[in-house]
Structure 1
């Protein structure tokens, strides 16, 4: 009798502590009152062990889900719960208990439910619809064989068949529908509406060419850019332009001198101009020496060396101020300044401050470095006194600079008809450039803080071309 149930699918309820198990009956021991399940599922989850054995004491309820053995005479639901109703199926009866597709739905029991489905609502065939037939309902067979194909078709109809319009089999005519759209009329209506509201007309795609903008360019339309924002009463022989295209005219030295005198009368004294020039020149020199790639705490053993060639004049004082700032930034500065000529007051003051930085000062060309240095700053020339070029110390310093093979930065070079004694790679002009020659190299411009009204007082219409910087490059226009 016990062998008749082998291979059947059963559900065993062991109470709230042990839970519900489902599986295929592998063995039944009547003497020990035990039953074993093969490939068991515990509360809908597959067990890690291939077989589980239960004692009759632990079983609260046992339900037969599917009878696999055709020799079984009866199929019943044995329960230790007094509320359960056994179901008996006699041998050979052409009925069988409805098979549940997924073992995970074995633990779901909803009882007999009767819900009214609204018209046009698709009933989905799931575990509820399977169990809603009731405990005593069975699935009929046709000619003694389970009607599998008809049953699957019925389930498909329940899920997907209701409410489907057969007219959707016809392909949608995209071309015909697109032909109904009058694009020209729609764009004309948009243009008319925008003109009425005062907005800018976008035009049709055929009439409009898309603009390309850089990542740093403003896409909003503004006023047209005026590139000639600086006009001078007496322009020089050359014109320059910035990277953004602004025109910077050169001025004659007489106008440059008058501009500095007016600025000094308004409070921009020579000491303030020297300090501003020294800061800008040192910032440019630090960039030329390598900038942040060289001036790091890990690179202090490779301190750059700068040779500073200065004369006894205002341009020399500007160079000494630059050397002081470079020495404060851990640059080895070697200052050449002749001591047998008369010094002006600005040079003496700047030299006193420079000696406080620990920089090296020499008055003989032989004391300059024998090996090439990193940078040479040339401040030998003077705007006023052009006879210095005939002095022996000047010629010796110029020859040393030309033979050292180091790049040369010329600070505030004058306009000389005889050309540059030292071939410069870069030249730094103040406020507005002078018409420099080819020997000046690449021209840069620094801002020394002259207000706009000072420019207007000498007849210069001025708008600052510096932007966010104090030193900018200039290009020949």
Structure 2
């Protein structure tokens, strides 16, 4: 009876572990309780083996999808439940009834679990066995013609059996490219652009491609004027910014006239001190590590800054910077001699600094013996150059040079003798002064002087700062 439905299409449900198989029935062995499917599909995917054999104990549910005589029966169902075996069969088809009865008998019988698969098939469950193999199944070799045949079978499984063999022909790139007349196409483009008044792009051989940075605008606009700042006294050293803008140096006399004009317009010394302190502290925080150093998880490693100040305006600028650093959890040690006369700005800034909890010393011996993270030098004065000969000044300069910590000088003066403390960075205000070589790398600080104030002292000025308040300067 089982031979009557050989070639029929069936669906076998083997439970959640083995899954569902569909295929054409190739053989049924009632004595061994096995059934074999030809060209099987596993969970909707074609199996890599041509035939699969199941044991009756593995089958949970069996559906007949198509009988060999051509009649489609999508509703045939044989259940392996012991309680009931419902079967839906059309009337008048005795061959179909016999086939279903055979399947019903087969699915209720329980024998030894057995599935015949080739050696290369991956195991999915302990009931899978590779002890036997069908006679027409061989293990594919890794190389040779059989391997190529296996690869083609995999291609057919991925892209379908109905692939067009004509696609195997190689595409003739050279012949297709010869049909394209590049010279005629570019000539037509040039003629069209000249007629419309547009700029000619030229042929690939004549055109030199432009290179743009990731932050550069590729749209053409007005030509950039890089010399946007001109000073009445030429001949001093010139710098340039990262974007190429030229920043000339000015003399100290012109610098002093600029500050006096700003003060007349309301930019008082106190406002300039605050602006200088904020910008200098921002630069110092960046030099100390920036966001990588100042995090809530890193409070146990507070950086230490030694602040060397004199009793003058430059010293007041340094004290303002130290106040802002102390507010940002930096351990600041301020050196300021207490036996010399101080200007009023230093006294007021010192009062605010003492509110932050920073440490103040007046003796060089009270400064740290070990290297600190940063030294800020504000010992020098623009007006009084004789301070460099005083003992406290020389002692502070010697300590800074021997501490081996990097030095940041704020508003260093123009000195013919050269700086007493070798600086790695120098921060200039408004416009740079012609500093000596020992000043290190020069940075420029914006203290908020309006453009009309520059024009009042004869300086044609356009801000080179962009979106920043502190920018680096490079030798032009």
Could you state the TM-score of these two structures normalised by the residue count of structure 2?
0.67
Q: Deviations over 1:413-467 (max 9, x none)?
A: 1011111111111111101010000111111111111111111111111111111
Change over 3 Å in CA distance of 1:171–1:340 after alignment to 2: closer
Between stretches 335-344 and 250-259, larger displacement belongs to 335-344
In structure 2, the residue matched to 1:78 is 78
Between stretches 341-350 and 222-231, larger displacement belongs to 222-231
Whether the 8 Å CA contact 1:13–1:21 is kept in 2: the answer is yes
TM-superposed CA distance for 1:208, in Å, is 2.2
TM-superposed CA distance for 1:337, in Å, is 1.0
Between stretches 138-147 and 312-321, larger displacement belongs to 138-147
Between stretches 263-272 and 240-249, larger displacement belongs to 240-249
Q: Deviations over 1:254-293 (max 9, x none)?
A: 0000000111111111111000000011111111111111
Change over 3 Å in CA distance of 1:317–1:104 after alignment to 2: farther
Change over 3 Å in CA distance of 1:247–1:141 after alignment to 2: closer
Change over 3 Å in CA distance of 1:415–1:92 after alignment to 2: closer
Between stretches 218-227 and 413-422, larger displacement belongs to 218-227
Rg bigger for which structure? 1
Whether the 8 Å CA contact 1:123–1:158 is kept in 2: the answer is no
Change over 3 Å in CA distance of 1:156–1:105 after alignment to 2: farther
Unaligned regions of 5+ residues in structure 1, if any?
A: none
TM-superposed CA distance for 1:151, in Å, is 27
TM-superposed CA distance for 1:124, in Å, is 38
Whether the 8 Å CA contact 2:54–2:113 is kept in 1: the answer is no
Whole-angstrom CA distance in 1 between matches of 2:150 and 2:249: 97
Whether the 8 Å CA contact 1:122–1:162 is kept in 2: the answer is no
Q: Deviations over 1:37-91 (max 9, x none)?
A: 9999999999999999999999999999999999999999999999999999999
Whether the 8 Å CA contact 2:331–2:358 is kept in 1: the answer is yes
Change over 3 Å in CA distance of 1:39–1:359 after alignment to 2: closer
- Count of aligned pairs between the two proteins: 476
Between stretches 248-257 and 164-173, larger displacement belongs to 164-173
Whole-angstrom CA distance in 1 between matches of 2:121 and 2:332: 92
Unaligned regions of 5+ residues in structure 2, if any?
A: none
- 1:182 paired with 2:178, answer no
Change over 3 Å in CA distance of 1:306–1:236 after alignment to 2: farther
Change over 3 Å in CA distance of 1:86–1:112 after alignment to 2: farther
Whole-angstrom CA distance in 2 between matches of 1:81 and 1:438: 97
TM-superposed CA distance for 1:196, in Å, is 2.1
SS in 1 for 2:419: coil
Between stretches 252-261 and 82-91, larger displacement belongs to 82-91
Between stretches 9-18 and 181-190, larger displacement belongs to 9-18
SS in 1 for 2:273: helix
Between stretches 85-94 and 2-11, larger displacement belongs to 85-94
Whether the 8 Å CA contact 2:318–2:410 is kept in 1: the answer is yes
Between stretches 159-168 and 118-127, larger displacement belongs to 118-127
Whether the 8 Å CA contact 1:7–1:69 is kept in 2: the answer is no
Whether the 8 Å CA contact 1:20–1:107 is kept in 2: the answer is no
Between stretches 336-345 and 28-37, larger displacement belongs to 28-37
Between stretches 150-159 and 45-54, larger displacement belongs to 150-159
SS in 2 for 1:73: strand
TM-superposed CA distance for 1:203, in Å, is 2.4
Change over 3 Å in CA distance of 1:103–1:167 after alignment to 2: farther
Change over 3 Å in CA distance of 1:16–1:253 after alignment to 2: closer
